[in-house]
Amino acid sequence: MIPIVYLSAILLHLSAASAAVVPRQDSAKATTFDITSGDKAKVKDAAPVAISIEFFAFPEYVQVLGNTAQCLKNLGDAAGAATRIRIGGTTQDRATYDPSLTSAVTYSVDDPADAPANLTYGPAFFELASQLSGPTTIGLNRRLNDINNTISAAQEAVEQMENLFAIELGNEPDLYTDDDPIADNQTWSPSLDAQIQVNWQSQISTALNRTAIIQAGVFLQPPAFSIAELGPLEQSSGSLEYVRSWADHAYPQSACGDSTTDLESLQNHSSIVEFVMTFQGEVDAADELGEERPLVFGETNSATCGGGGISATYGAGLWIVDYVLHSVKLGYERLYFHHGTIGNSPYSWWGRDQVFSPYYGAIFAASALNDAAYITQLDSSTSHLAIYTFHSSNDALLRAVILNTQYYPNTTNSARPSETVVLTGLEDGESGKVKGKRLTAPWSTSQVELGESPTFGGQSFNGESCEAEGEEVWEKMDVAGGEVKIEVAASEAVLVYF
């Protein structure tokens, strides 16, 4: 067992500052938040921080990478429940099921960094998926319009996977074209997609003799294609009983083609809130269709096409924290963060002998939500400070997150800005009980690959094993007059335990 070392907040700041190139600037102001304020929102799942793995790459993630199992376990341990997995993506709509294939998957590419244009998979694919410890969603092909092949694959999934949560029928139909086989020489549109979705749901669910088995929608950033459009047809057609969950996909930035990405805006609290709130209509539509069918971000990450130059940074880890918490507050049950081609996927959280900077934000967010029944946002979304509290089912205060999203790149020559956050509304008797773990790195732009690993509670993760390394560092926090003061530097976060 790793020993727990208790240090004062001041000593921890000195230690963290030594990892940075420049000193910290003394806090010039204090901002106060009342922990009894704000409106509570339900946390709808035990482990909202979830993983999506690109369809063709899934066998390699679990058979070749030696750190995948432990990285998934760490997330589950932090959350207090097994990590939820979705296997799917662009290549699910290029995949053909072959029940006679002995390997999990077969394909050919000219460059290992490429995704295959077509692939074949067999029963061994589902055997691998059945070994995952958490509820698992499988994405199957709809684009190629071979429903009999998809039914065969779905039947194998149901037979082998006791952990099967849902089946997706196609990936991001918003991107289908008139030339795709599924269009059948018709003009592709949201209404045509909805008609085909409900028809396929009915045929496949009937073949499986199952209800509540389909993850419907799977849209890339509504409103062009949306749950609001699909839902009413599900109701009127009688297909709603086949739906287990609804899924949207979300990427705040794009690294495709000539697009440019910007880390400062990615990690900015106000920008994160603004982006998440664009999905309010989807939350409302899903709620109207029944709370028993949760809404998830079935695929998400920092930027499309692998994430470009921003996605492997510590700043992307800070984005994960705020993005997860605000999405959960809005009403999304889970967020499946996508992991793509191994060796060519900057937004993946781990790879060959590496655990990347964003993973630290994921562990932080999962830890914050552990056993939480309610989440409350205390700030007004108008500054770089994000403040959240978490309560148990009996309304006991569990934790608070203090996140300073102010950008601090490695091009900065000035001292690192710092602010003091004062939490009020506490009982004086809490002194000695309140403690915290700090998420920090030298810069917003820090990358593990460059030798600039973040730490959470003083610990980092071994690249080969994904095991936590180093002594776990807790900060003691004194409560006086019902208040606790916590200093947080630019691009830092503190998880406070009560």
The amino acid occupying position 330 is L
Same domain for 477 and 339 = no
Same domain for 361 and 410 = no
* CA 189 from centre of chain: 29
Is 12 inside any structural domain?
no
Number of domains forming the structure of the chain: 2
Helix or strand run (H / E) with residue 355: strand 354-355
Same domain for 416 and 397 = yes
Is 215 inside any structural domain?
yes
Same domain for 424 and 285 = no
Closest to 270 (Cα-Cα) out of 422, 378, 386, 365: 386
CATH of residue 459's domain is 2.60.40.1180
3-state class percentages of the chain: helix first, strand second, coil last, to nearest 5: 30, 25, 40
Is 19 inside any structural domain?
no
Same domain for 351 and 381 = no
Question: Following DSSP, what letter does each residue of 433-477 receive, concatenated?
Answer: T-EEEEEE-S-TT--GGGT---EETTBEE-TTT--EES-EEEEE-
Q: Cβ atoms within 10 A of the Cβ of 131, count?
A: 12
Is 4 inside any structural domain?
no
Closest to 403 (Cα-Cα) out of 283, 314, 340, 319: 319
| Pairing relationship of beta strands 418-424 and 30-34 according to DSSP bridges | parallel
Euclidean distance between CA atoms 307 and 57, whole angstroms: 17
Question: Which of 356, 372, 388 is the endpoint of a domain?
Answer: 372
Euclidean distance between CA atoms 248 and 227, whole angstroms: 8
Euclidean distance between CA atoms 351 and 370, whole angstroms: 26
Provide the residue range defining the domain that includes 362.
45-372
Same domain for 184 and 51 = yes
Question: Which of 347, 372, 397 is the endpoint of a domain?
Answer: 372
Asked if residues 105 and 81 have their Cβ atoms less than 8 Å apart, the reply is no
What is the full per-residue pLDDT of the chain (498 aa) written as tens digits? 333 333 333 333 333 333 333 455 655 579 999 999 999 999 999 999 999 999 999 999 999 999 999 999 999 999 999 999 999 999 999 999 999 999 999 999 999 999 999 999 999 999 999 999 999 999 999 999 999 999 999 999 999 999 999 999 999 999 999 999 999 999 999 999 999 999 999 999 999 999 999 999 999 989 989 999 999 999 999 999 999 999 999 999 999 988 999 999 999 999 999 999 999 999 999 999 998 999 999 999 999 998 878 999 999 999 999 999 999 999 999 999 999 999 999 999 999 999 999 999 999 999 999 999 999 999 999 999 999 999 999 999 999 999 999 999 999 889 999 999 999 999 876 667 899 999 999 999 999 999 999 999 999 999 999 999 999 999 999 999 999 999 999 999 999 999
Question: Which of 348, 372, 396 is the endpoint of a domain?
Answer: 372
Euclidean distance between CA atoms 43 and 25, whole angstroms: 36
Is 203 inside any structural domain?
yes
CATH of residue 85's domain is 3.20.20.80
- The dihedrals phi and psi of 249, each to the nearest 5 degrees, come to -110, 150
pLDDT of residue 306: 84
pTM above 0.75, yes or no: yes
DSSP 372: -
State the alpha helices, DSSP H only, in 298-387.
Answer: 314-330, 358-369
Same domain for 220 and 277 = yes
Burial class of residue 464 in the structure, from the number of CB atoms within 10 Å of its CB (0-12 exposed, 13-18 middle, 19+ buried): middle
Q: Which long-range contacts (CB under 8 A, 24 or more apart) does 9-16 make?
A: 9/436, 9/475, 9/476, 9/477, 9/486, 9/487, 12/438, 12/458, 12/473, 12/475, 13/487, 13/489, 15/458, 15/473, 16/438, 16/440, 16/455, 16/489, 16/492
Is 18 inside any structural domain?
no
pLDDT of residue 430: 62
Same domain for 337 and 432 = no
Which residues is 402 bridged to in the sheet? 387, 494
Q: Cβ atoms within 10 A of the Cβ of 451, count?
A: 8
Closest to 453 (Cα-Cα) out of 354, 317, 357, 310: 357
Euclidean distance between CA atoms 216 and 230, whole angstroms: 9
Same domain for 244 and 132 = yes
Asked if residues 27 and 420 have their Cβ atoms less than 8 Å apart, the reply is yes
Query: CA 184 → CA 114, 296, 415, distances in Å?
Result: 29, 30, 62
- Token duo for residue 457: 């509670």
Same domain for 93 and 35 = no
Q: Quick one: CA dihedral 193, 196, 202, 203, positive or negative? A: negative
Is 8 inside any structural domain?
no
Same domain for 235 and 93 = yes
Asked if residues 366 and 414 have their Cβ atoms less than 8 Å apart, the reply is no
- Token duo for residue 99: 């029940």
Is 382 inside any structural domain?
yes
State the alpha helices, DSSP H only, in 6-140.
Answer: 9-19, 58-63, 68-79, 123-130
Same domain for 132 and 55 = yes
DSSP 377: E
Euclidean distance between CA atoms 482 and 142, whole angstroms: 58
* CA 110 from centre of chain: 31
Question: ∠ CA(64), CA(70), CA(71), 5° rounding?
Answer: 90
| Pairing relationship of beta strands 472-476 and 397-404 according to DSSP bridges | unpaired
